[in-house]
Amino acid sequence: MLYAILIGALAGFLAGKLMKGGGFGFLINMILGIVGGAVGGWIFGVLGISIMDGIVGDLITGVIGAAVVLFVAGLFKK
């Protein structure tokens, strides 16, 4: 559980840096990153895609999921 939170928080931070406009701020990006990690795992599971095993694969999946969550949240921000 702690592992998922840490990876998700790091993924949210990185996704916020990658997204145009920087996302929603450090804390919200980290929270959305934790949610995004779950979303990324779900998306890749549905599509049958496995990036890598281990921390690097989890981080890549989390960053992609967090970017999706930040993008969708940005649509509602306006």
What confidence score (pLDDT) does residue 21 get? 66
Q: What is the C-alpha separation between 54 and 51, in angstroms, rounded?
A: 10
* Average pLDDT of the chain, as a whole number: 84
Q: Which of 12-26, 28-42, 64-78 has the lowest mean pLDDT?
A: 12-26
In this predicted structure, the answer to whether residue 1 has a pLDDT above a threshold of 80 is no
What are the C-alpha distances in Å from 76 to residues 24, 71, 72? 12, 9, 7
Average pLDDT over residues 22-43: 82
Q: Are 19 and 28 in contact (CB under 8 A)?
A: no
Tens of pLDDT, residue by residue over 8-28, are: 888 888 888 888 766 677 788
List the domain boundaries for the chain: 2-77
Q: Which amino acid is it at 51?
A: I
DSSP string, the chain: -HHHHHHHHHHHHHHHHHSTT-TT-HHHHHHHHHHHHHHHHHHHHHHT----SHHHHHHHHHHHHHHHHHHHHHHHH-
In this predicted structure, the answer to whether residue 75 has a pLDDT above a threshold of 90 is no
